[in-house]
Chains A and B, each alone.
Chain A
């Protein structure tokens, strides 16, 4: 009951005119940078930082937070429309979202993404309000052993992403891991596979990789078809999801929200991990008819809900521990410090208007985003009616500028070209990009944590089984492996019998 009272108090803070305006500005800018591929919330928050000097801490935080979760909303738009993940956490949305768009269902895909995000945002806001301190404790329990086992589980589950050959998917995961290892090794400081290029010391840029394997390859593939104007089909279909769409997606949204809320609290790419996990889970358990990979609306609803829920709960470590879980959060801590507030457990008690105002503004912001996004869908869908010969050069422009803005490195643009060549070859050979992307992200984290766990425990491998959370993930990974292997073995037997 006390929490409800606090929430009401927070709403009182969030619903002042000043705060509403800053919340709107944040959501609007966030949607904009989310839609523009490459430019992420980090760059935007950094840019606005000097503007927040003159504001109080509450409006500053409310505006910056709006940018962050607004970007999660906007990121799905280009993923669905033109197969370019605007944010890393919307990579997974391209799988079914873009397929829906190609089948004339861009509207329902965008609609369910917005509605799913809204529902997830509302629930995750309550999670933050009610369970922030215990969830923060859980996040602290994750040591290197737990992270390692979680990554093992994630990588094995990545195979579920495969539409075609399982073994090729595993190979793509490995290739992704190797690409991810390029750059400075955290544990030893060695620069691996850098070829003496200072630009490679921090590894291959994620944005360049994702754009090469999704955006650019997709454009080239479209251009190879004779009738290019027909990419999106003639009929554009309805603009909003039908009740049937809503009914089918409802539990996917709920499951996505639950997974997102939990994974979001883990520092280091929680929202991204959440969207992958939600998709893989959905693909495994969803009731038939299952058309994952060919435009299943549940394949959009679950990951989009998950990444938005994750974005919301990723505030928990920052608000309750003062530990940022991603670069945007680190910036927000910077913004708070400039205001003379050291983020940490005491913020909740010493500055309740800040904590509860922010929590309430998250809910207000999600409502604003829904109101902002739903009417825009009609506009986005119309965009697809633009002839492809005009659309694709624009895609090139946004990909290139987006890649450049990440670190202002010209090198990254050449990298984009090089990676696109590789992506094209692999596309021609029916090797799917999604497992590669997951390997790229999880692989290096897995190595880092494994080696750190071994250092801290002086080479004692039993640590992975003696810590309960770690052991649970490893057992789950083993079960998952069996589940994947069984149908494959059965299929092989069938093939053998046919011959």
Chain B
């Protein structure tokens, strides 16, 4: 309601002035989110959106267009008018994994003008506390003893979590059985209830279960330990070469958006991500803010996409 009022008031004010590119934004900005409300991409958009509204006096409307492997929102975001009024909040999977999985895509990375990275959510490889596996070495030994008999849960086929599983298996010469769930919550519940011995989860959904003594974290999946739980070792430090993955989000504009607008967005978003209260909000969800330039984001996506494509091919991950 407040948003609408702001829109009306600022709309009236702006009617008096001629629209110029320096005055961007002169109307509400839409952020397309390829996921249902409640996910990290959604919450990140809402936190950043609220701050953009504060800074620029224009409402930011978060539009959830879930589904279709994110094709619907990503396709719409790629084809939107390049005027800076339709942005897309994607996750690493949408830009680096999905293109390796599907032959026909309604969008490609080059359809976008990158604004910057937003948030970074660490993931963990966790074991049920009643299993005998205390370290990554224990687990790998178990997998070597009975190849393909140890089940590892993930939030779904083609998720970054599954990539971590296959990447680890490839680099250590082991085999696991992948059990996909419909999202992170059921996977966490299945692990906590002991249906499966292992799962690769967002650290935020594993954390409370670890405190309650139901789960044990064997490793974080990034190259560096998580800021919030420095006591958890990394996969790399336990002898799993190269594996480095986390679930990060990024903000995109359509290709052809005037550079002045992309730069203005980039600068403002970076400023927002550095604010202590914003950092605190993200930290509440176990997520770090990772401001970047568009060029840095572009380089990171290209590098990750290459890595992912190799893993997808070697591990024969297929959507069907």
Touch A–B, Cβ below 8 Å: yes
User: Once the chains bind, are B285 and A337 in contact (CB under 8 Å)?
Assistant: yes
- Chain B residues near A340 (CB-CB < 8 A): 280-281, 283-284
Known: A189-B180, A452-B179. A408 touches B68 (CB 8 A): no
**B284: which of A198, A341, A407 is its contact (CB, 8 Å)?**
A341
- Interface digits, B77-112 against A, CB 8 Å rule (1 contact, 0 not)? 000000000000000000000000000001000000
Among A139, A141, A268, A322, which residue has the most Cβ atoms of chain B within 10 A? A322
A270 within 8 A of B: no
Chain B 106-136 residues near chain A, CB threshold 8 A:
106
Residues of A within 8 A of B204 (CB): 337, 342
Interface residues of A in 147-195 (CB under 8 A from B): 184, 186-191
Residue-by-residue, is A331-354 near B (CB-CB < 8 Å gives 1, otherwise 0)? 101101111111111100000000
Which residues of chain B come closer than 8 Å to A190, judged between CB atoms? 319-320
Residues in A with CB closer than 8 Å to B181 are 186
Contact B68–A456 (Cβ < 8 Å): no
B139-157: CB near A (< 8 Å → 1, else 0) gives 0000000000101000011
Q: Say how far B214's CB is from chain A's closest CB, in angstroms.
A: 8
Mask, B180-202, CB within 8 Å of A = 1, is: 11100110111011111000000
Q: How far is the CA of A253 from the CA of B48 in the complex (A)?
A: 46
Considering the complex, which residues of chain A in the window 267-322 have a beta carbon less than 8 Å from any beta carbon of chain B? 267-268, 317, 321-322
Chain A residue with the shortest CB-CB distance to B36: A327
Q: What residue of chain A has the Cβ atom nearest to residue B212's Cβ? A: A345
Residue of B nearest to A42 (CB): B37
Q: Is A330 an interface residue (CB 8 A)?
A: yes
Q: Does the CB pair A42–B36 fall under 8 Å?
A: yes
Q: Chain B contacts of A189 at CB under 8 A? A: 156-158, 180, 318-320
Tell whether, in the assembled complex, residue A408 and residue B67 are in contact, meaning their CB atoms are under 8 Å apart. Answer: no
Indicate whether A425 reaches chain B with its CB closer than 8 angstroms: no
Q: For chain A residues 82-122, which have a beta carbon within 8 Å of chain B? A: none
Q: How far is the CA of A243 from the CA of B277 in the complex (A)?
A: 56
B157, B194, B207: the one contacting A342 at CB < 8 Å is: B207
Say whether B264 faces chain A, with CB atoms less than 8 Å apart.
no
Looking at the complex, which of B9-17, B39-47, B247-255, B298-306 is the stretch in contact with chain A? Answer: B39-47
Contact across chains for A338 and B209 when beta carbons are under 8 A apart: no
Whether A245 sits at the interface, judged by CB under 8 Å, is no
Q: What number of B residues sit within 8 Å (CB to CB) of A?
A: 59
A344:B65 contact, CB within 8 angstroms: no
Please measure, in the bound complex, the distance between the C-alpha atom of A455 and the C-alpha atom of B178, giving whole angstroms: 9
Cα–Cα, bound, A183→B280 (Å)? 38
- A50–B17 alpha-carbon span in the complex (Å): 30
CB within 8 Å of B: which of A184-213? Answer: 184, 186-191, 198-199, 201-202
Interface size counted on chain A using CB atoms at 8 A: 56
Contacts of B207 in A (CB 8 A): 342, 344
Give every chain B residue within 8 A of A268 (Cβ-Cβ): 186
Report A186 CB to chain B, min CB distance, Å: 5
* Given contact pairs A201-B67, A346-B208, A143 touches B285 in the complex (Cβ within 8 A): no
User: Taking the complex as formed, is B236 at the interface, i.e. its CB lies under 8 A from any CB of chain A?
Assistant: no
Question: In the complex, which residues 232-265 of chain B have their Cβ closer than 8 Å to any Cβ of chain A?
Answer: none
Q: Mark A219-254, 1 if CB is under 8 A from B, else 0.
A: 000000000000000000000000000000000000
CB-defined contacts of B225 to chain A, threshold 8 Å: none
Once A186-B181, A323-B185, A339-B284 are accepted as A-B contacts, the answer to whether A408 and B65 lie under 8 Å apart by CB is yes
For chain A residues 400-457, which have a beta carbon within 8 Å of chain B? Answer: 407-409, 448, 452, 455-456
Q: Give complex CA distance A382, B94 in Å.
A: 51
Q: Nearest residue in B to A268 (C-beta to C-beta)? A: B186
- A-chain residues with CB within 8 Å of residue B194 when the two chains form the complex: 140, 143
CA distance A53 to B54 in the complex (A): 13
Given A202-B68, A334-B38, A344-B207, the answer on whether A317 and B189 have CB atoms closer than 8 Å is yes
Q: Is A45 an interface residue (CB 8 A)?
A: yes
CB-nearest residue of chain A to B60? A50
Q: Is B223 an interface residue (CB 8 A)?
A: no
Distance of A43 Cα from B66 Cα, bound (Å): 12
B residues within 8 A CB of A331?
37-38
Q: How far is the CB of A136 from chain B (nearest CB, A)?
A: 10
Is A186 a contact of B182 with CB atoms below 8 Å? yes
**Known: A322-B205, A342-B204. Contact between A334 and B285, CB under 8 A?**
yes
Bound-complex Cα distance A286 to B103 (A): 57
**Contact of B38 with A345 in the complex, beta carbons under 8 Å:** no
- The answer to whether B157 touches A267 (Cβ under 8 A) is no
Q: Any chain B CB within 8 A of the CB of A144?
A: yes
Roughly how many angstroms separate A330 CA and B42 CA in the complex, as a whole number? 12
**Given A338-B281, A342-B286, also A201-B43 (CB < 8 A):** no
Contact A344 B212 (CB under 8 A): yes
Q: B50 near A50 (CB under 8 angstroms)?
A: yes
Q: Does B309 contact A (CB under 8 A)?
A: no
Is A17 in the interface zone, CB < 8 Å from B?
no
Check A346–B212 contact: CB distance below 8 A: yes
User: Nearest Cβ distance between residue A40 and chain B, in whole angstroms?
Assistant: 10
Q: B residues within 8 A CB of A338?
A: 43, 47, 281, 284-285
In contact, B192 and A321 (Cβ under 8 angstroms): yes
A388 contacts the other chain (Cβ, under 8 Å)?
no
Q: Does B290 contact A (CB under 8 A)?
A: no
Do A144 and B71 touch across chains, with their CB atoms under 8 A apart?
no
- B72 CB to closest chain A CB (Å) equals 6
Interface residues in B277-320 (C-beta closer than 8 Å to A): 280-281, 283-286, 318-320
Residues of B within 8 A of A327 (CB): 36-38
Specify which of A331, A337, A408 lies most central, judged by the most chain B CB atoms within 10 Å of its CB.
A337
Complex CA gap A323/B65 in Å reads: 24
Take A46-B37, A49-B37, A327-B37 as given contacts and tell me if A199 and B179 are in contact as well, using a CB distance cutoff of 8 Å: no
- Quick check: B180 and A322 within 8 Å, CB to CB? no
Given the contacts A186-B180, A198-B72, A345-B212, A456 and B195 also touching, CB distance less than 8 Å:
yes
The 3 residue pairs across chains A and B that have the minimum distance between CB atoms: A344-B208, A189-B157, A46-B37
> 5 A-B contacts, Cβ less than 8 Å apart?
A46-B38, A51-B2, A143-B195, A334-B43, A338-B281
